[in-house]
Structure 1
Amino acid sequence: MPPLPEPIAKLLTPPVPPSKKLAGDFAVLQKSLRRSLPGQVGVAVVPVNSDRAISLGSLRTGRAWSTLKVPVSLAAQRKYGPAVAERENKALTLSDNDAAGALWGSLGGGRVSVDAVTKVLREGHDTRTHVSSEADRPASYPGYTQWALTDQARFGAHLPCMAGSETVIRLMSSVAPNQNWGATKLGHPEAVTAVKGGWGPATDKSPGYLVRQLAIITTNRGQVAVSMAAVPRSGRFEDGTKMLNRLGAWLGRELATLPMGRC
């Protein structure tokens, strides 16, 4: 039997188990969160230019919501270049839904847009995510896409190495206050963080919020991609961001133990 192509072989290897210190410190954080802000929380970490994920917490997947504006923006930028710069800026820095909808439509809409965004995800080594379209959810697309934290972190780990990603990451590095939470709260003077947040109902049956974030953290040791999410029992968006702020602060404390990579 011929050997598997390297990217596929890497994905079939088991995830990297977290160090005892990382797992233990996260368990302490979870215990604290259960007391102060009860609900589900999860985080996945992948070194840049790698496929090996560390996954912690009970929350493993959820609707992408506005975090999918990252591959949508990159797909539109590759097709139209500077012509979509203003919409790309609004979609990423402000999380503007109208701007993101225009970018999605510019790709052709429906299956054509799905294929264009899927191509970007596959280039970023996310081999599993199936992008939703207006045919699936007329009221909200592609935000209803289920995006597992490990798959999102893996995509984030390859984003800095992908053609044309410089603009996307620069915009993610200067987001508006409505996304200034989570990994932006590292509290580490040597770290630079690029983020894209997303939030919306966790399920059709519950009005409670899922709050999530894709982040790329740059240090002098290299870069690491992080995908984090929370579903607070209260259902409140504000409680979700508080949970992610706690996760961001924890990541800052653990920064020296996180695996890093380079393109």
Structure 2
Amino acid sequence: MSSRPSRTASKAGALLASASALLSAGLLYPAPAAAATTASSGHTPAHATAAVLDLDGAGGAPVLHGEDRAYDTASIVKVDILAALLLQAQDAGRQLTARERKRAEPMIRRSDNAAADALWRQIGRASGLAAANKRLGLTSTTGGPGGKWGLTRTTASDQIRLLWAVFGTGGTVRAGSGGLDARSRAYVRTLMSQVAPEQSWGVSAAGTEDSGRALKNGWLERNTTGLWDVNSVGRVTVKGHRYLVAVLSDGSASMGDGVSLVERTARAAVT
């Protein structure tokens, strides 16, 4: 939402196809040739921030690597959109409808933008996201303007708070208050563990066991500079140890560079 120099040659076609699909769907914006040339020849170095929470450790605070500043979410916000939808359903005392599931599942598994557009409207756009995030404990996330959910701004530490709301043990849940209940958390976890194979890059590079992997990625080319925002959030397992990992980045000259940066940063942060 291209490939790493080391082991992504086989992924390149699939990732580029995904990028083309996003371009046609409106999340990615074509950059002028001049901007792309400038970006590749002399742009400001790319930046990345990682946050890691050890689910099996004694401490309860995430460890930060890099400056915990705000980045554009691109499609990682789709996890947040789904969380907001589930909270609204909980408050109404119901499960998701078949229509809602038909949109939620491709939104996470395939990063479907049309599904995200529909659910973004349904939750109330930025204001609906803000209401959900207040309940989930996020403090530094601001929804994108109008229909531009991909321009939501967030920090790595806030993404760990969101991941904790999904992968943590939960708490007291009542209509209108509290976080995601056990059924909702299990639903999000399941979808994040079933992302399309061509979108399984990112924080998964830090894991050693596929069975413990669950993630959501996001990628966005900026129309003014030709530079890329590339992000990845999720849970990984390393030698039986579970970690929540969020890596946010911007300023990469290409999607491939961004993927490589995110994966290097994730591995370094976990190890």
Q: TM-score range by the shorter chain?
A: 0.5 to 0.7
On the 8 A contact 1:183/1:248 being kept in 2, the answer is yes
- 1:147-200 deviation line (CA, Å, top 9, x unaligned): 011111122122223321211111111111342112212351386121111111
On the 8 A contact 2:49/2:68 being kept in 1, the answer is yes
Secondary structure in 1 matching 2:154:
coil
Instruction: Indicate which of 240, 243, 246 corresponds to 2:258.
Output: 240
Secondary structure in 1 matching 2:161:
helix
1-side partners of 2:67 and 2:130: how far apart?
27
2-side partners of 1:45 and 1:251: how far apart?
7
CA-CA distance at 1:74 after TM superposition: 2.3
The answer as to 2:140 corresponding to 1:122 is no
The residue type equivalent to 1:146 in the other structure is: R
The answer as to 2:85 corresponding to 1:65 is no
- 1:189-248 deviation line (CA, Å, top 9, x unaligned): 38612111111135x632210100111235687643211023354x20111112222234
CA-CA distance at 1:105 after TM superposition: 2.0
CA-CA distance at 1:101 after TM superposition: 0.7
The answer as to 2:250 corresponding to 1:225 is no
Residue 133 to residue 165, structure 1, CA distance change in 2 (3 Å)? farther
Instruction: Indicate which of 76, 81, 97 corresponds to 2:96.
Output: 81
The answer as to 2:196 corresponding to 1:176 is yes
2-side partners of 1:123 and 1:223: how far apart?
25
Percent identity, aligned pairs only, is 23
Unaligned runs of 5+ in 2: 1-44, 90-94, 171-179
On the 8 A contact 2:50/2:246 being kept in 1, the answer is yes
Q: Considering only aligned residues, what root-mean-square deviation do their CA atoms show, in Å?
A: 2.7
The answer as to 2:218 corresponding to 1:209 is no
The residue type equivalent to 2:63 in the other structure is: I
On the 8 A contact 1:44/1:153 being kept in 2, the answer is yes
Aligned to 1:200: 220
Residue 248 to residue 191, structure 1, CA distance change in 2 (3 Å)? farther
On the 8 A contact 1:94/1:178 being kept in 2, the answer is no
2-side partners of 1:103 and 1:183: how far apart?
25
On the 8 A contact 1:60/1:150 being kept in 2, the answer is no
- 1:8-39 deviation line (CA, Å, top 9, x unaligned): xxxxxxxxxxxxxxxxxxxxxxxxxxxxxx63
On the 8 A contact 1:51/1:157 being kept in 2, the answer is no
Residue 241 to residue 59, structure 1, CA distance change in 2 (3 Å)? farther
Give me the TM-score of the superposition, normalised by structure 1.
Answer: 0.68
Aligned to 2:26: none
The residue type equivalent to 1:116 in the other structure is: G
